[in-house]
Structure 1
Amino acid sequence: MIDPADLEHCKASIRTGSYSFHAASRLLPGRVRDPALALYAFCRLTDDAVDLTHEKTEAVLMLGERLDAIYRGQPRNTPTDRAFAAVVEDFEMPRTLPEALLEGMAWDAMEKRYHTLSDVYAYSARVAAAVGVMMTVLMRVRCPHALARACDLGVAMQLTNIARDVGEDARARRIYLPLDWLAQAGIDIEAFFDNPRPTREIRKLTRRLIADANRLYFRSEPGVAALPFACRPGIFAARNIYGGIGREVARRHYDSINTRAYTTKGQKIGWLIQSTLETLVVSVMPRSAVLYGKPLPECAYLVEAAAERLPSDNPWGEGRAGELIAVLAQLEAKRRQAQPVAALVEERKRAI
C-alpha cells in the first residue's frame, strides 16, 4: 500500500507538472488512479531529472541506481521512490518496463538522433509506450492484445509531442523528426537550428508525423474496450486530449515554431464528457479485429515482458527452445525403443 503522505506528494507534483494526465486521471477508479499517480510522479521525476540539468549523464546514472534500489526493496527515502516501490511490489511490475523508460532518458542524455521513422518509434516505445504498458499492468490486465494497443497509444502520444515541440526542440538544438525525412526535403539540420522557421517543408514533415500519430490513435482504440469498464473513460480521455493537441497543431497550419499548440480547460472538460459517452458506445459494439493486430516491432519486447504467461502444454519448456528439446526427446525415445528389436535381429542372424 502507498503511504497516504507519499501519495499526496505525488498528486501535487502531477497537478503542477502534467495537466493533461491530471485531467484524464480524474476519470480513473481510485484503485487505479492512486498507483497511476505514483507511477507518473516517478516518470515525471525521471524526465525532469534529465531535461532540467546540464549534468544529464550523471542524472541518468543516478536514476538507474534509484531504480535498482527500488527493485531490491530498499527505495531511497523520498516520497516518490517509496510510492513507486509500493507500486512495483503490489503489481509485480516487470523491471523491463521502467528500465525501458530509463533507456529513453539515456538516449536523450546522449543527444541521440533518429534516422528513420522506425528509430523514432523505438525512442517513443521507451519514453511513452512503456508508460502505457505500465498503466495497463496497473489495471491488472496482462492480455498481449490490450498491451499492444496500449503501445500504439503511447507511441501516438509521443509523436504528437514531437510534432508540437518542433520549434522548442530546434531552439535547444534537438531534433526528433526522422533524419531521412529531413534529407529528402533538402533541409540542413544545422542551418535549421541557426534559424528555425516554419517553412513549407518543415510544416509538411510535421503534418506527416501528425498523420502517423492519428493512424496509431485509431489502432489503439479497440484496446480500450479490452480494459476494465471503469478504466475506459480515463484512457479515452487521455487519447482525446492528446489527439486534441494534434488537431491544434493542424489548426495552426502545422506551424509548431512560431507558436506552441495547447488545449484549454474548457476543451479538456468537453473531452472528458466525450470520453464517458465513448465508453458506453464501445461497451455495446462488437469487438474490432484491429484489437488482434501485431504490436509495432519496436514495442514487441514491452508486450512480451508484461504479457501473462499461459500454462504450456510442452513439459520441456516454452518457446522455440522447448520445442527443440521436445523433438530431441522424441528421437531419443524412438532410438531406445528400436534397440531391443535390433538386438533380436542380430540374435536371429547368429542363430541362422
Structure 2
Amino acid sequence: MTRAELVAAARDSIARGSKSFAAASKLFDPATRERAWLLYAWCRRCDDIADGQDHGHTMRAVADARAQVAELAALTEAALRGEATGDPAFDALGLVAAEVKMPSQWPRDLVAGFRLDAADWRPQTESDLYHYCYHVAGVVGCMMAVVMGVDAADDATLDRACDLGIAFQLANIARDVAEDAAAGRCYLPRDWLAELDVSPDALMAARNRPGLAVLAQRLADGAAKHEASARLGAPALPLRSAWAVLAAAGIYGAIGREVAARGERAWDARVTTSRAAKLGHVARAGWQAANRARLYRPAGRDPTLWTRPRGLPPA
C-alpha cells in the first residue's frame, strides 16, 4: 500500500475506534495528524487481536491469547525492520516509526503489556497497577510525543507524556470495572480489594459496590494527579499539538471525574462524553494552549508519582 492508502486506512480506524481521539486528532497540523492516525491504527489493531475485538468493541474470549500476542509481536518486529507485513496497521507502524525515528523499545513495551493480559496477569499492589498502565498506555504517550516532534532523549517532556497516558488508563480502568469483570479481568490491585473487603470473585455483587466506589475515587484521584503533571509539558509542544493534547486531557479527565461522582451507580450505564461536552473541552483547550507558557509554568515533577523506565531506549 502507498503512504496515502495507509493514512486513509488509519483514518478509518480511528473514526471507528475512538470518537474522542478522532476529535482531538483534528486539532493537529496535517503532518502530525497523519502520523498520529498511523500510530493509533497499529495500537488499535494490536488491542483488537489481543482482546478479540473489532475496533475496541464487543470484547470476547480469545481461544489462544498467548499465540495471538506472539503473532502481533512478530508482525510488530517485521514492521520495525521496515518489512511489508500485508496488514495495513502494522505497515502503518513501520512507516511512522521510520519517519519520526521512534525508539524500537517503545512498541515492544506496548506488546509486553498485551503479554501481561494474555498471561491472565493481575496486579497485586499499586506499583503493579502503574507498571501495567505504563505498558498499555504510558508508553503510548511517549510514542505520541515523538510523533509531535519531541526529541526521544528529552526525558522531562517524555515523563509528562507518559503521565497523560497513565491518566487515561486509570480513567479507563475506573469506567470499565464491570465490563472487565464480565470478561474475567480485574485491574484493581489485590491489596486494594482486601483493604475494603471486596471479593474479586464476585466483583460486581451489590455488597461490593461501596468498596468499588471508594476504589473508583482512588483511581480518579490518581488520574487527576497524572493529568495535572502532564499539563505542565504543554509548553514544550507546538501550539496545535498542545491544543490536541489538552483537549484529550480534558475529555478523559471528565470521564474519570464522572465515574467517581456517580459513586456506587458508576457502572449502571457506561460513562460517555456528549458531543457538546467534547466541543466545550476543545474550546477550553484552545485557550489553554494559546496561554500555555503562562498557565503551565515549568516545575519539578511530583516525586510521589510513579516514574517510567528512564533514559533513551535502544534503537
TM norm structure 2? 0.91
Partner of 2:14: 14
Partner of 1:88: 97
Larger radius of gyration: 1
Shift of residue 296, structure 1, vs aligned partner: 5.1
More helix per residue: 1 or 2? Answer: 1
**d(CA) in 1 for partners of 2:307, 2:119:** 20
Q: Runs ≥4 in structure 1, deviation > 2 angstroms? A: 195-198, 253-257, 283-288, 292-298, 303-307
**d(CA) in 1 for partners of 2:292, 2:264:** 31
Shift of residue 286, structure 1, vs aligned partner: 6.8
Identity within the alignment, %: 36
**d(CA) in 2 for partners of 1:305, 1:227:** 21
**d(CA) in 2 for partners of 1:48, 1:189:** 25
**d(CA) in 1 for partners of 2:184, 2:207:** 13
1:1-352 residue pairs with structure 2 within 5 A?
3-52=3-52, 53-142=62-151, 143-192=154-203, 195=205, 199-253=209-263, 255-285=265-295, 287-290=297-300, 292=301, 297-301=306-310, 304-305=312-313
Contact 1:160 1:245 in 2 (8 A): yes
Shift of residue 56, structure 1, vs aligned partner: 1.4
Structure 1 pair 197/89, CA: closer, same or farther in 2 (3 Å)?
farther
**d(CA) in 2 for partners of 1:231, 1:2:** 26
Structure 1 pair 104/226, CA: closer, same or farther in 2 (3 Å)?
same
SS of the residue corresponding to residue 251 of structure 2 reads: helix
| Unmatched 5+ stretches in structure 1 | 308-352
SS of the residue corresponding to residue 270 of structure 2 reads: coil
Contact 2:106 2:139 in 1 (8 A): yes
Structure 1 pair 98/295, CA: closer, same or farther in 2 (3 Å)?
farther
Query: 1:236-259, CA deviations, whole angstroms, 9 ceiling, x for partnerless residues?
Result: 011011001112213322533322
Query: 1:270-325, CA deviations, whole angstroms, 9 ceiling, x for partnerless residues?
Result: 111111011122134572314x5569555124x53289xxxxxxxxxxxxxxxxxx
Code of the residue aligned with 2:257 in structure 1: it is R
Partner of 1:341: none
Code of the residue aligned with 1:36 in structure 2: it is A
Shift of residue 113, structure 1, vs aligned partner: 0.2
Query: 1:35-67, CA deviations, whole angstroms, 9 ceiling, x for partnerless residues?
Result: 110000000000010111332111100011101
| Unmatched 5+ stretches in structure 2 | 53-61
Comparing 222-231 with 269-278, greater Cα deviation is found at: 222-231
Contact 1:148 1:296 in 2 (8 A): no
Structure 1 pair 154/75, CA: closer, same or farther in 2 (3 Å)?
same
Structure 1 pair 298/254, CA: closer, same or farther in 2 (3 Å)?
farther
**d(CA) in 2 for partners of 1:304, 1:207:** 34
Structure 1 pair 254/148, CA: closer, same or farther in 2 (3 Å)?
farther
**d(CA) in 1 for partners of 2:304, 2:72:** 28
Structure 1 pair 84/191, CA: closer, same or farther in 2 (3 Å)?
closer
Partner of 2:57: none
Partner of 2:58: none
Structure 1 pair 293/115, CA: closer, same or farther in 2 (3 Å)?
same
SS of the residue corresponding to residue 103 of structure 2 reads: coil
Shift of residue 81, structure 1, vs aligned partner: 2.1
**d(CA) in 1 for partners of 2:314, 2:21:** 22
**d(CA) in 1 for partners of 2:111, 2:178:** 25
